[in-house]
Structure 1
Amino acid sequence: MGGTPEVWEYDGPASQRLWQKSVIGRLLKNGSLALSPAETLFVHHHRNIELPDNDWKTNALSMNGMLLQEYCILEALRVPGNKVVLTGNLDLFDLDYQPQTWACRWPSNSHPKDSQPTAEVRWFLDSEMLNPAELHNWAVEVRNSNRIPEVMIVDEELSVVSYQLSSESPLGIFKEERLGEKLPNLSDGINSADGMIFPSENWEIEQLGIPTEEGIFLDTIASEIVDGKSPLSQGALILLDLLDRGLVIRPGFKYGSKWRCYEKRIGDDHAPYLVVLPDEAPKNWAGACLASRLASGVNKIWLHPVNNEGSWNYLAITRPPADSRWTNPRKL
Structure 2
Amino acid sequence: MARHSRKFTPRQRTKRPLGASITSNAAPKTPHDKPVPHELGWLVKPPLSARLFQKSGLGRPLRGEDGITLSSMEILFCNWHRHLPLPSADWFEKEIENDSNLLAKAVIFDTARSGGEIVIPSSNITDYQLSSDIFALKWKRNQSQFNTEPVSHVRWYWTFETLDWTEIFMWAEEVEELNCKCDIFIIDEEMEVTMYRVSFIEPEGSQKIWTELSNDETELISRMWDSKITTSSGFHLPIIGNWPLNSIGVEHLSGINLRTEEGVWLEKKINGEEIETDSKLYDDLINRGLILRPGFKFGSRWRIYDDEVSKSHAPWLLQTVTDGPKTWENACLSIRLSEGVHKKWICAIQNNSKWRFMQVERWSPGKD
Q: Settle same-fold status: TM greater than 0.5.
A: yes
Residue 206 of structure 2 is aligned to residue 173 of structure 1: yes
Kept in 2, the 8 Å contact 1:104–1:121? The answer is yes
**Structure 1 residues 263 and 322: CA distance shift in structure 2, 3 A:** farther
Structure 2 unpaired stretches of 5+: 1-34, 213-217
Equivalent position of 1:328 in the other structure? none
Q: Which has the larger radius of gyration?
A: 2
* Paired residues, number: 321
Kept in 2, the 8 Å contact 1:6–1:37? The answer is no
Residue 190 of structure 2 is aligned to residue 157 of structure 1: yes
Q: Deviations over 1:160-206 (max 9, x none)?
A: 11111111111112364249xx7996333222224222223333221
**Structure 1 residues 89 and 175: CA distance shift in structure 2, 3 A:** farther
Select the residue among 99, 119, 131 that pairs with 1:98: 131
Q: What letter corresponds to residue 50 of structure 1 in structure 2?
A: P
Q: What letter corresponds to residue 205 of structure 1 in structure 2?
A: L
Select the residue among 175, 180, 196 that pairs with 2:235: 196
Residue 151 of structure 2 is aligned to residue 118 of structure 1: yes
- Following superposition, the deviation at residue 103 of structure 1 comes to 0.9
- Following superposition, the deviation at residue 98 of structure 1 comes to 1.4
Structure 1 unpaired stretches of 5+: 326-332
Alignment of 1:43-122 (within 5 A): 43-91=78-126, 94-122=127-155
Q: Could you tell which deviates more after superposition, 251-260 or 212-221?
A: 212-221
In structure 1, how many angstroms separate the alpha carbons of the residues matched to 2:82 and 2:167?
Answer: 37
- Following superposition, the deviation at residue 241 of structure 1 comes to 1.4
Q: Return the structure number with greater relative CO, CA threshold 8 A, min gap 6.
A: 1
Structure 2 length-normalised TM: 0.78
Q: Could you tell which deviates more after superposition, 190-199 or 70-79?
A: 190-199
Equivalent position of 2:29 in the other structure? none
Kept in 2, the 8 Å contact 1:136–1:166? The answer is no
**Structure 1 residues 252 and 322: CA distance shift in structure 2, 3 A:** farther
Equivalent position of 1:8 in the other structure? 42
Q: What letter corresponds to residue 7 of structure 1 in structure 2?
A: G
Q: What letter corresponds to residue 293 of structure 2 in structure 1?
A: R
Residue 260 of structure 2 is aligned to residue 220 of structure 1: yes
Residue 299 of structure 2 is aligned to residue 256 of structure 1: yes
Residue 168 of structure 2 is aligned to residue 135 of structure 1: yes
- Following superposition, the deviation at residue 214 of structure 1 comes to 5.3
Residue 49 of structure 2 is aligned to residue 18 of structure 1: no
Q: What letter corresponds to residue 295 of structure 2 in structure 1?
A: G
In structure 2, how many angstroms separate the alpha carbons of the residues matched to 1:130 and 1:121?
Answer: 16
In structure 2, how many angstroms separate the alpha carbons of the residues matched to 1:223 and 1:241?
Answer: 16
Q: Deviations over 1:270-315 (max 9, x none)?
A: 2211112333321111222222222222222111110111221111
- Following superposition, the deviation at residue 113 of structure 1 comes to 1.1
Q: What letter corresponds to residue 28 of structure 1 in structure 2?
A: L
Over the residues paired in the alignment, what is the CA RMSD in angstroms?
Answer: 2.8
